[in-house]
DNA sequence: CATGAATGAGGATTCATTCAT
DNA sequence: AATGAATGAATCCTCATTCAT
């Protein structure tokens, strides 16, 4: 049908724009990436970017929403039905796999997450809450079940877990991509176990 | 003497420009920060920026050099004469204190360190080597002395240590600045010890 | 019949587009009014504008033709069979009523009539001639019949009459719409009588 | 002195930009006039426009302020110390001379004054008040002195006087510039006297 | 040593127009 | 008869850089 055809065409275009934008912004940052670059890499005319998004900033915010949405979904799927101890390991694995798959998006997050005073800061903080929320639920379950120490600050620990996972994974992919994922996973697990028992 | 007066005045101006630039770039990123912004915050005329630096990029590179130079100096001072085990702890403490003091610079590093394709990438990688080099020397000494496991990948471990310290400290200062430094230090030490014994 | 249905539908659409365009152009001017705006206010898709008119300029020119055509018709109907003196009064009344009814179109005329260098200037000057022509015929009849002074410059007087009627009426509708039409009519008549006797 | 030199240079540039902008906007309207056009005609680089004005709209608003300021000054100078009857005549003469001298600005006013919904509408209405205010003072003095009928609506009469003067003068300059100013002045005076005695 | 007016290349955004459905 | 996704030229605006003072 006409409507479907049009809808699909438009959705395709948006997807292409997302992909082009993620890569470029990961490499160069938001401001250094031009709308021309994005359109060129997506293979559409510049005007098409504006037909599909209100502005460059809008495109970026939707991108953040989309990317963190996927990560949050992965997190939820990973912990589903697992006992606390295994759930934490599953989250780490899930995060690593996500970052390996969407490396550009992860780089971009790493660059923007601890900035302040950017237009999309509010959006980003909210999205961060969302992703860290899933980790926090898992950690809390661990605390409740006695698998993790009762005095653990759930918020702080979840935030740190997220951040450490992000740097370690990105550092891996950027500087020593030949290391196997399992190796990195092992290091991260060691960190978590340790943190769990001391803080 | 006149020359001295001028030299001092100029050094002052440069310092003011450094400080203004660091803060702004930490908040908004390099591209989003304008030379006008920098001059305004430093309280000088725009032309003065160009009287003191060849270009905006040049200012930024000198900034990186200056900032990482200080950090490297701190690292060296911290480990001086210490046995391996204590030296690692001293590095962590030193990094935390540095970041608490030059928080904006740390945010800026966190944002730029894992980017690719930026003009100053080469400079930054070199500077990173410099700082991580000090950590690596210490870790290697630990391996040699048997305080750290013989199969530890020194390069990887040092890089991770640097990255984890950076992200944990910045996350701390941005999201839970009320936590005492000792608390954060404790968490980082736990991580390091654990990593040391497993990887 | 199908054809009739289509024709009527099309005529409807054109009328809706005219109305939307007149209002918007009166408010903001031709250049500041976008085809998107027009389509939106008319409640049709953008493509529909181009299905019905060759271009934005074409729509505007047809609009001018249509609007001034109506005015000229009103003028002709108003003076039909009247003696010169009453005919001038009838023209004024007619112009006022027209402007009250098509206020947006009048504003638009006021804005465009004394411009130069616009694409449709030629069209507009022609249309202006047409409307002023009717006034001029009436004035000339008055001169011929001795009701108006023999040395009156018919062209100049008619042009001024038209212009003064336009500003006074629009000023009335924009700034003091509560004034009754008769009041405004009275002022205009006073002007005309006077001008008639002096120029 | 340096500061003076700079200040003067800048003021010169602004003046050149004003002159270029007035002419172009009078011919084509605000939206149809590009900043490139303005810069080109003023003989400066495009960036200079933005160094001197916040935006194209800002330039236009300052232009309106400047132009109507001059007119208001002329009005005040014209009526200074004159008895009511002569003062009105002086105002008309003053307005005509102003329009002859700044014809482009007058055309521009005629085009924008009765629009609605433009960004600078508020500014323009205020400026209009300012100019009409001087006329109103004079008219009121005439009413008070008995030179003008007691039941005259001062606001309405002043507004109409201003509008009629504007349209008659512009019509004159656009369509019959060979007519001598005195001729036009005579017509306007006739109008005013008549209006004065009837409304 | 410092200034700030001016520049122009470059980047974000708009919008009339086209065209496949 | 109508639609709306896509286009790209035109436009507004920004900003690093220069230079005369």
Please report the DSSP string for D123-158 in residue order. HHHHHHHHHHHHHHHHHHHHHHHTSS-TT--HHHHH
Distance (Å) from the alpha carbon of D183 to chain C's nearest alpha carbon: 8
Average pLDDT, chain A: 93
Question: Is B176 in CB contact (< 8 Å) with chain A?
Answer: yes
Q: How many CB pairs under 8 A join C and D?
A: 130
What does the domain layout of chain B look like in residue ranges? 1-53, 55-198
The CATH T-level fold of domain B1-53 is Arc Repressor Mutant, subunit A (1.10.10)
Q: Cβ–Cβ of A31/B32 closer than 8 Å? A: yes
Name which of A117, A103, A122, A119 is nearest A171 in CA terms: A103
Residue in the structure block whose two tokens are 């970017």? A49
CB C98 within 8 A of CB C145: no
Report helix, strand or coil for C123: helix
What is residue A199's predicted lDDT score, i.e. its pLDDT?
42
CATH superfamily name and code, C60-198:
Tetracycline Repressor, domain 2 (1.10.357.10)
Look at residue D194 and tell me whether its pLDDT is greater than 80.
no
Over residues A31-58, mean pLDDT: 98
Just give the CATH number of A55-198: 1.10.357.10
Contacts of D128 (CB under 8 A, 6+ apart): D68, D113, D162
The C-alpha R_g of chain A, in whole angstroms, comes to: 19
What are the chain B neighbours of A41 within 8 Å (beta carbons)? none
Task: Indicate the pLDDT class of residue C196, thresholds 50, 70 and 90.
Answer: low
CB C107 within 8 A of CB D115: yes
* CA distance linking residue A61 with residue A56, whole number of Å: 9
What does the block give as tokens for B10? 């100029």
CB A93 within 8 A of CB A155: no
Residue in the structure block whose two tokens are 């521009």? D108
* CA distance linking residue C100 with residue C173, whole number of Å: 7
What are the chain B neighbours of A107 within 8 Å (beta carbons)? 114-116
Neighbours of B152 (CB within 10 A): 19
Query: Considering CB atoms only, which of B32, B115, B194 is closest to A193?
Result: B194
Over residues A92-115, mean pLDDT: 96
Nearest residue on chain A to B33, judged by CA atoms? Answer: A31
Other chains touching A, judged by 3 or more CB pairs under 8 Å:
B
What is residue B7's predicted lDDT score, i.e. its pLDDT?
72
Chain B 45..104 CB hits on strand E (< 7 A): 45-48, 50-52
> Among A155-169, B1-15, B56-70, D49-63, which is the least confidently predicted range?
B1-15
Other chains touching D, judged by 3 or more CB pairs under 8 Å:
C
Name which of B146, B37, B138, B152 is nearest B92 in CA terms: B138
Measured at the alpha carbon of residue C82, what is the angle toward residues C81 and C84, in degrees to the nearest 5? 130
CB A198 within 8 A of CB B184: no
B38 exposure class (CB count in 10 Å sphere: 0-12, 13-18, 19+) = buried
Q: What percent of chain A has pLDDT over 70?
A: 95
Task: Indicate the pLDDT class of residue C5, thresholds 50, 70 and 90.
Answer: low
What is residue A103's predicted lDDT score, i.e. its pLDDT?
96
Q: Cβ–Cβ of B176/A156 closer than 8 Å? A: yes
What does the block give as tokens for C84? 């010169």
- Which has the higher per-residue pLDDT, D78 or B5? D78
Residue in the structure block whose two tokens are 């011929």? C144
Over residues A38-65, mean pLDDT: 98
Which of A156, A177, A192 would best serve as a mutation to test chain B binding (most B beta carbons within 10 A)? A156
Q: What is the mean pLDDT of each run of 10 residues along chain B (199 residues)?
A: 63 94 96 97 97 97 97 97 92 97 97 92 94 96 91 92 96 95 91 62
Residue A67's Cβ-side half-sphere holds a number of Cα atoms within 13 Å equal to 28
Chain A 23..42 CB hits on strand E (< 7 A): 33-36
Q: Is the CB of B189 under 7 A from strand E?
A: no
Q: Cβ–Cβ of A28/B115 closer than 8 Å? A: yes
Over residues D132-171, the pLDDT tens digits come to 999 999 999 999 999 888 989 999 999 999 999 999 999 9
What end-to-end distance do the CA atoms of chain A give, in Å? Answer: 60
What is residue B92's predicted lDDT score, i.e. its pLDDT?
96
- Which has the higher per-residue pLDDT, B3 or C102? C102
Q: How far is CA D60 from the centre of its chain?
A: 14
Query: Considering CB atoms only, which of B112, B186, B199 is closest to A187?
Result: B199
3-state helix, strand, coil in chain B (%, to 5): 80, 0, 20
* CA distance linking residue C172 with residue C181, whole number of Å: 9
Question: Is B110 in CB contact (< 8 Å) with chain A?
Answer: yes
Nearest-CA residue to the C1' of F19?
B47
Q: How far is CA C82 from the centre of its chain?
A: 22
- Tell me the longest C-alpha to C-alpha distance in chain D: 61
Task: Indicate the pLDDT class of residue C191, thresholds 50, 70 and 90.
Answer: confident
Look at residue A131 and tell me whether its pLDDT is greater than 70.
yes
Question: Is B168 in CB contact (< 8 Å) with chain A?
Answer: yes
Look at residue D199 and tell me whether its pLDDT is greater than 70.
no
Q: How many CB pairs under 8 A join A and B?
A: 131
Over residues A52-68, mean pLDDT: 97
Chains B and A touch (3+ CB pairs under 8 A): yes
């Amino acid at each position: 049908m006409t409507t479907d055809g049009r809808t699909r065409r438009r959705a395709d275009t948006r997807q292409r724009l997302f992909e082009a934008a993620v890569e470029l912004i990961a490499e160069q940052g938001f401001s250094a990436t031009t709308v021309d670059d994005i359109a060129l890499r997506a293979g559409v005319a510049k005007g098409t970017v504006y037909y599909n998004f209100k502005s460059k900033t809008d495109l970026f915010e939707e991108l953040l929403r989309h990317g963190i949405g996927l990560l949050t979904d992965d997190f939820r799927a990973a912990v589903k039905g697992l006992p606390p101890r295994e759930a934490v390991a599953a989250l780490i694995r899930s995060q690593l796999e996500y970052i390996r798959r969407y490396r550009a998006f992860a780089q971009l997050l790493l660059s923007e997450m601890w900035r302040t005073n950017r237009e999309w800061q509010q959006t980003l903080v909210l999205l961060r809450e969302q992703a860290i929320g899933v980790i926090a639920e898992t950690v809390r379950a661990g605390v409740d079940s006695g698998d993790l120490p009762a005095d653990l600050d759930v918020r702080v620990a979840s935030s740190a877990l997220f951040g450490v996972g992000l740097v370690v994974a990105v550092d891996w992919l950027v500087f020593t991509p030949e290391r196997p994922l399992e190796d990195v996973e092992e290091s991260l697990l060691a960190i978590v176990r340790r943190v769990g028992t001391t803080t």
